[in-house]
Amino acid sequence: MTTWYSLEVGNEEAAAKTMKRVMDAFMPKYIGAGRPLSMAIFSSTNQKDNAVTLYFSPKAVSLAMQFGASACDDIFVNKDLALLVGDQKCIELLFPEAIAQEYS
């Protein structure tokens, strides 16, 4: 399964509340699944309107569904992603092309 999911959570206060709920819900699922390296959620902020979008990795599909996220494109070129929850090492696993570019 390689489908990523996204959820627009608004900006400022609304985004902070939703992000907190997502982070709180993530840990029990993450631990229960055995802490898979490929299970993570990233955030990206649109600089024009400060709107925050969350991106759920394919391994976080149950959490994505729980929050009503929609399937999205898995091409993240020109998106400034920040790891919201998950293991920092997941970046190498989920985005090997970005790591390769960094060292070339």
- Phi/psi for 93 (5° steps) reads -75, -45
Which 3 state secondary structure label does DSSP give 71? strand
pLDDT of residue 76: 76
Helix (H, G, I), strand (E, B) or coil at 70: strand
> In the β-sheet with 70-72, what is the strand arrangement from edge to edge?
70-72, 4-10, 52-56, 41-45, 82-85
Tell me what pLDDT residue 86 has: 95
In this prediction, residue 14 carries a pLDDT of: 85
> Mean pLDDT of residues grouped by 10 in the chain (104 residues)?
89 89 96 95 89 94 96 80 94 76 50
- Rounded CA-CA distance 3/92 in Å is 18
Rounded to two decimals, what is the model's pTM?
A: 0.89
pLDDT tens for residues 8-29? Answer: 999 878 899 999 999 999 999 9
